[in-house]
Amino acid sequence: MTVSWWRRDPHPAIIRTDVLIVGAGVAGLCCAREVLARGGACLVLERERVGSGASTRNAGFLMRGAADNYAAAVRDHGRERAQLLWRWTEENLALLRADGIEALPSYSARPSCLLSLSPEEETEVRASHELLARDGFDSRWVERGSDDAWRTARAGLVNPHDAVVNPVHLLGLLRAPLGDRIIEGAEVCAMEREGTEIVLRTAHARFAAPRVIFCTNAYTDTALPALRGYVAPRRGQMLALLAPGLRLEMAYYANHGSEYFRAAGDGVVVVGGCRTYHADVEAASEDRTTSLVQHAIEAFATSLFGRTFPVVARWAGIMGFSPDGLPLVGAVPGEPGVFFCGGFTGHGMSLARRCAKAAVAEALDGTPSPFGLSRAVAARHRES
């Protein structure tokens, strides 16, 4: 989106604070809470409404790990980096529990399971289980489960300490202590510098602070030109099935994380994915469902459960993918005082709280994040 000249107040008020945060999804709200916990002042600028992006459009998984499985992460990123990422997702849930998430009515301590539907996937997921054990992570290898997810499954890796939640409830919890520090309908149309301050212009006001944290994830291209092209928008689609007789004891990932599903209460099962089979179409920032992907999700569910169920809702959300699948957290190169927290590659629920803690630590203390942006910048320079 853009902000026309006609909408801009010619004499905007100037509002100052310690830290400006752009984006009121999980990451932005968590950054604000971190700043307040340190005794600082902050404002959160949100172009639409709290949680209007992917933060309220996901499956509500609070699982350990990230894209695909641990063996794949070790192969792609090295043992040390994979270990750190998995530890951060464990710490992410611990931080949310400290925030009070367990009191939410939709919160449930529920194991997650990486379900193997093919011999190739079984081999890799078993290797993940063995690597996790060697690196001190608790996991279980299950040859056969007892619920309706196991009709054609071969085996599964269980993360026993994971959880699920309604993401809308989570956003409500995170925003509660922030009050009027959140300014909705405040789309940033310009960033300027005035002395030691960074000034963000919206249609009706100018906001100034010595530090700014962008938590814009998939919409970073329009919000922060300095990072244009570093976070790729990817559309994810989901649907809800009315399946009162279906029993699912865990939250499931399948086909290397391409598909995912869980029971959501009141006889509803949410199912998502199939993006990877239509990657050219889903490399998009338009929030809409497509018949191609929706039909693929329905076909997956029918194949998995052996029967069809009525669809009661369909929706989409735009995720932000980093170049290497690791989060991007820390100072923006070439932009003093500007920081970024995003690039969660489809795992914002499992990473945003911990990444927000790291982003604020770097912004306020100068503590560098282990997932800093310099690696993405270096990769871009090598490509060019």
pLDDT of residue 207: 97
Structure tokens at 266: 């009141």
pLDDT of residue 119: 93
* CA nearest to 231, candidates 321, 167, 119, 114: 321
Check pLDDT > 80 for residue 377. Answer: no
Strand 338-342 with 205-209, pairing? unpaired
User: How buried is 339 (Cβ within 10 angstroms: 0-12 exposed, 13-18 middle, 19+ buried)?
Assistant: buried
Angle between helices 79-99 and 348-365 (to 10 degrees): 90
Using CA atoms, how far apart are residues 145 and 12, in angstroms rounded to an integer?
Answer: 61
Residue 125 identity: V
Strand partners for 157:
114, 141
Using CA atoms, how far apart are residues 348 and 343, in angstroms rounded to an integer?
Answer: 8
| Residues 315 and 238 sit within 8 Å (Cβ to Cβ) | yes
Using CA atoms, how far apart are residues 170 and 268, in angstroms rounded to an integer?
Answer: 19
**Which residues 6+ apart lie within 8 Å of 59 measured at CB?**
164, 238, 251, 260, 261, 262, 270, 272
Residue with tokens 């079984």: 122
Q: Which segment of 53-62, 169-178, 244-253, 279-288 scores lowest on mean pLDDT?
A: 279-288
pLDDT tens track for 309-352? 999 999 999 999 999 999 999 999 999 999 999 999 999 999 99
Using CA atoms, how far apart are residues 163 and 59, in angstroms rounded to an integer?
Answer: 11
- Which 3-state string (H, E, C) describes the chain? CCCCHHHCCCCCEEEECCEEEECCCHHHHHHHHHHHHCCCCEEEEECCCCCCCHHHCCCCEECCCCCCCHHHHHHHHCHHHHHHHHHHHHHHHHHHHHHCHHHCCCCECCCEEEEECCHHHHHHHHHHHHHHHHCCCCCEEECCCCCHHHCCCCEEEEECCCEECCHHHHHHHHHHHHHHHEEECCCCCEEEEECCEEEEECCCEEEEECEEEECCHHHHHHHCHHHCCCCEEEEEEEEEEECCCCCCCCEEEECCCCEEEEEEECCEEEEEECCHHHHHHHCCCCCCCCHHHHHHHHHHHHHHHCCCCCEEEEEEEEEEECCCCCCEEEECCCCCCEEEEECCCCCHHHHHHHHHHHHHHHHHHCCCCCCCCHHHHHHHHHHC
pLDDT of residue 378: 66
Residue 243 identity: A
Q: Which segment of 56-60, 213-217, 244-248, 274-278 scores lowest on mean pLDDT?
A: 274-278
Structure tokens at 185: 């309908």
Domain 13-56+169-231+324-383 sits in CATH at 3.50.50.60
pLDDT tens track for 19-43? 999 999 999 999 999 999 999 999 9
pLDDT of residue 135: 97
pLDDT of residue 3: 79
pLDDT tens track for 340-369? 999 999 999 999 999 999 999 999 999 999
Using CA atoms, how far apart are residues 112 and 164, in angstroms rounded to an integer?
Answer: 9
* pTM listed for this prediction: 0.95
pLDDT of residue 137: 97
pLDDT tens track for 154-167? 999 999 999 999 99
Residue 8 identity: R
pLDDT tens track for 208-256? 999 999 999 999 988 888 898 899 999 999 999 999 999 999 999 999 9
| Residues 28 and 348 sit within 8 Å (Cβ to Cβ) | no
pLDDT tens track for 172-210? 999 999 999 999 999 999 999 999 999 999 999 999 999
pLDDT tens track for 88-122? 999 999 999 999 999 999 999 999 999 999 999 99
For the chain, domain boundaries: 13-56+169-231+324-383
pLDDT of residue 313: 98
* Per-chain mean pLDDT for the chain: 94
